[in-house]
Amino acid sequence: MPLATIYSFIGMLIMINTVLALVTIFRKPRSISSILAWFMFLVFLPGIGFLGYLFLGRGLDRTTVRRFEEENKYNLSILGQRVHENNQKFAPKEMAPHEKLLKRYFNNMERTPLCRGNSVNFYLDGKEKFTALFEDIKNAKDNIHVEYYAFFSDKIGTLFRDHLISKAKEGVEVRVVYDPWGGKTKRDFFKPLEEAGGKVTAFITSRNALMKTRLNYHLHRKIVVIDGQIGWTGGFNVGDQYIYNSKKFGFWRDTHGRIVGTAAFGLQETFIRDWNVSVKNPKDKLERKDNYFVVPEDSGNIDIQIVTNGPESDNKTLRTGFIKMIMDAEDYIWIQSPYLIPDDPMITALVAAANSGVDVKIMIPDMPDHPFIFRATQYYANYLHKHGVQIYNYTNGFIHSKTLVMDGKLGVFGTTNQDIRSYELNFEVSAFCYDEGVAKEMKRTFEVDLEKSTLLTDKALAQQSLWLKIKQNFSRLLSPIL
């Protein structure tokens, strides 16, 4: 075959691959950065790129989206009325105009009311967190609802399961939603719990993920609700590495909160919705019964909004809420996140705040748990440092905490990382606390962590090798699809 014919054939294949790549990536609305990343992936990896897109690039399947739409039609007016009645017991706190707007935005977008009269206790150490959580489980009288991204079948995972088995045998209603991809946990692990009377389901996006060719959507929430009035959420998953100092990570620094009050209703409603869309048999769906939403006799005086976000919607509610906080900060905005891969609007907000004289601090790990993502995090840390944001690398183990604290008035904790995956691909939940006491406590905690961190400086940046910078830039190119 003449060489010219071979070249023509190769050129035709390249043209066909390019056209198919353009058609493929424009089938779904997405950001320009995501379009460019996927275009590079598809063009420079012909065949392999399309296979990767098949499993990682497409949106949620229609059946899953339809299930969420049906569940979201549920009328929450009765639940909202119960929260409103409880709110009347507490004198309204004075809120700044931007706090009122943030509260209203969340309520309009996610139907999440501001809940007054809550208490919050923070747990930064895995041993303390699970000790307290297991004590709550032991004291449960009516129902226990559990939802975790990673539920490992190791020592602490087995202990957690066995506590649930004991309560199920006592007649307590036990329900568990888990993501099999998070902890690589097999369904057989939960069989003893089901035999004891508990019920377990894999989250809908994890079921038949290979057959549906959707591997990129994960249940990243961590929720426990006990007796309809005690709620737990934060960064800790269920596994030994989060409790016992592992050889790889050492001390695991995270933030988890125990909420008592009507804010637990938001966590309960999230669990019920996730359970109902995931169960195969319609008879297993949960109704919004009174015993799932119980106003405690004594709690506290903290105002909280529970806010969720997921790929079933294009709203990016949590990301937008964070941006509003950053842009409205007058004194400081301090952030902790294990992964720092912000999109363009978030980068713009952070740089604008820093250039306006706001004290912007971001704390990230000094070691990787996912090497590729770690290099992308380093790239964005370097970029933000050059534009006035203070970047701190936590050196006392691995920091997995997902928090924001602003101006001593507003503190946020939950499961949401500052990365595109949390903004667009994961199912997340965060608690927004409009309370000076919470904000001051979170600020003090951040200051303690600063003592165990190193500040990124121009000198440290100049000492990074050329090879390291190449890896950082390459990781950054594909960061919109990580």
Q: What is the pLDDT of residues 434-466, one digit of tens each?
A: 999 999 999 999 999 999 999 999 999 999 999
Give the pair of three-digit tokens for residue 63.
């059946």
Name the helix (H) or strand (E) containing 158. Answer: helix 155-169
Kindly report which listed range (264-273, 368-377, 422-431) carries the lowest average pLDDT score: 368-377
Alpha carbons 175 and 235: distance in angstroms, whole number: 20
Is position 73 annotated as part of the catalytic site?
no
Alpha carbons 115 and 121: distance in angstroms, whole number: 16
Q: What confidence score (pLDDT) does residue 101 get?
A: 95
Asked whether residue 1 carries a pLDDT value surpassing 60, the answer given is: no
What is the mean predicted confidence (pLDDT) over 336-359? 97
E strands within 135-219? 143-148, 173-178, 199-202
Single-letter residue type at 479: S
Length of the chain: 482
Q: What confidence score (pLDDT) does residue 215 get?
A: 65
SS3 at position 394 = strand
Q: What is the pTM of this model?
A: 0.89
Kindly report which listed range (60-69, 177-186, 252-261, 370-379) carries the lowest average pLDDT score: 60-69
Is position 402 annotated as part of the catalytic site?
yes
Asked whether residue 309 carries a pLDDT value surpassing 90, the answer given is: yes
| Active-site residue, selected from the candidate residues 402, 419, 435, 471 | 402
| Active-site residue, selected from the candidate residues 407, 419, 435, 449 | 407
Alpha carbons 186 and 190: distance in angstroms, whole number: 8
Asked whether residue 159 carries a pLDDT value surpassing 60, the answer given is: yes
Question: Given the structure tokens 């994890």, which residue do they identify?
Answer: 206
| Active-site residue, selected from the candidate residues 145, 222, 385, 409 | 222
Kindly report which listed range (43-57, 373-387, 455-469) carries the lowest average pLDDT score: 43-57
Residue 415 vs residue 19, higher pLDDT: 415
Binned at pLDDT 50, 70 and 90, residue 475 comes out as confident
Q: What confidence score (pLDDT) does residue 299 get?
A: 83
Strands 199-202 and 252-253: unpaired
Is position 218 annotated as part of the catalytic site?
no
Is position 407 annotated as part of the catalytic site?
yes
